[in-house]
Amino acid sequence: MKNKYVIGGFIIVLFLGIMGYLFTQSNIKYENNFIVVKSTNKTVKATGSWVKEKKYSYDAENNLFTFYIKDDKGEEMMVVYRGAMPNNFESATSVVVTGSYQQNYFYAKDILTKCPSKYQEQPNTQSSSL
Amino acid sequence: MISKSYNLCIKDIKSELRTRYAINALVMFILVAISVILFSIGNEKIQPELTAGLYWVVIFFSAMSGLSRAFVSEEEKGTTLTLHLIATPDTIFSGKLFFNLILTFFINIIITLLYAAFFEGFVVNNFILFLVTFIFGNIGLAISSTIIASIIAKAGSKGTLYPVLSFPILLPLILTCVQLTIFCFDGTSFDNALYEMAIVVSYDIIMVTISYLLFDFIWKE
């Protein structure tokens, strides 16, 4: 009789653990390989850097912002975002776009830009001004 | 034990076929709900995400109205004490669970057929995934609603208590099943849906274990 509760409790705790782990796992994943991004139409967070040679464009009439990003292996894709261009987009070192890849475009729901820190030490300018 | 719970299940089916209380209520509910949805969307083609959500909403509420009867009917007819005498709690729970499983599958096959017939967005591209989702989702639904039905059988306001109790318990199951159904419409491969599938399976296992452990106490009260 006592054994039943011990075994039952063990099973419950074990599977609750598995379920809790899977719940955190099944959220949107980061992906820095665009070949994988292009092969699924699941929502992912694609990380890459903006291709500066290919200009971004902003269509004010339809409120569409498009640009190209590439991953560290050089694989490129075109990102379409419905909304205004994020601030300091041009100075971004890397870009994280959340969305899904459909029919040759990556439709972004959200864009995060990673910028170089403003508060970094700049020893040369400081020493010269003094 | 198995033959006894089988007999209990047969008894429930017979009494259900005689009164047709649950089946009538359910079929009416399904027809009303689906026709209201159909009228309100009109000619619009709705997205697969929305279709999957609406599908599980109908399943959830039909489970609410039909499956709560399992123990309430015994209580109303005054046959609870007889059941106490003739069988152990585990047997009774198994019998009721079999009956609810049959009822859930019966209702949900009807819902699925109606959706497939009337909704343009309801196009299953990965049939095996849909079948597995359907089976495990229904098993989870049946187990949870059976144990909740046994809890509320003794309570005063049964009608309101049932959805209130079952909402938090069924929420993880319904959410994951909606996600899985969207995958089925998209045609996502089985491997990509493995996480969600595992969540549903572990939900079923947890609910079975909890139900068999706790039913002793619920039944003896």
Q: Kindly state whether residue A65 falls inside one of the protein's structural domains.
A: yes
A25 touches chain B (CB under 8 A): yes
Provide the residue range defining the domain that includes B30. 2-220
pLDDT digits (tens, 9 = 90+) for A58-87: 888 888 888 888 888 888 888 888 888 777
Q: Which of B132, B125, B147, B118 is nearest to B196 (CA)?
A: B132
pLDDT of residue B131: 92
The mean per-residue pLDDT over the stretch B70-87 comes to 83
Distance of CA B81 to the CA centre of its chain: 27
B212 and A19 in contact by Cβ < 8 A? no
Distance, CA of A79 to CA of A97 (rounded, Å): 8
pLDDT of residue A99: 83
Domain tally, chain A: 1
Q: What is the ipTM of this complex?
A: 0.71
pLDDT of residue A124: 60
Of A4, A23, A41, the CB nearest to B199: A23
Q: Kindly state whether residue A37 falls inside one of the protein's structural domains.
A: yes
pLDDT higher than threshold 90 for residue B207: yes
Domain tally, chain B: 1
What CATH number is given to the structural domain containing A99? 2.40.50.140
pTM > 0.80: no
pLDDT digits (tens, 9 = 90+) for A6-31: 888 888 899 888 888 887 775 667 77
Q: Kindly state whether residue A52 falls inside one of the protein's structural domains.
A: yes
Distance, CA of B206 to CA of A14 (rounded, Å): 9
The 3-state DSSP class for residue A49 equals strand
B198 and A18 in contact by Cβ < 8 A? yes
pLDDT band of A123, cuts 50, 70, 90? low
* Closest CA in chain A for residue B172: A23
Shortest distance between the Cα of B71 and any Cα of chain A, in A, equals 24
Q: Kindly state whether residue A4 falls inside one of the protein's structural domains.
A: no
Cβ neighbours for B213, distance < 8 A, ≥ 6 positions apart: A4, A5, A8, A9, A12
Distance, CA of A66 to CA of A86 (rounded, Å): 12
Shortest distance between the Cα of A44 and any Cα of chain B, in A, equals 13
CB atoms within 10 A of CB B55: 24
Provide the residue range defining the domain that includes A79. 28-114
Of B172, B186, B205, the CB nearest to A41: B186
Most confident of A110-114, B67-71, B126-130: B126-130
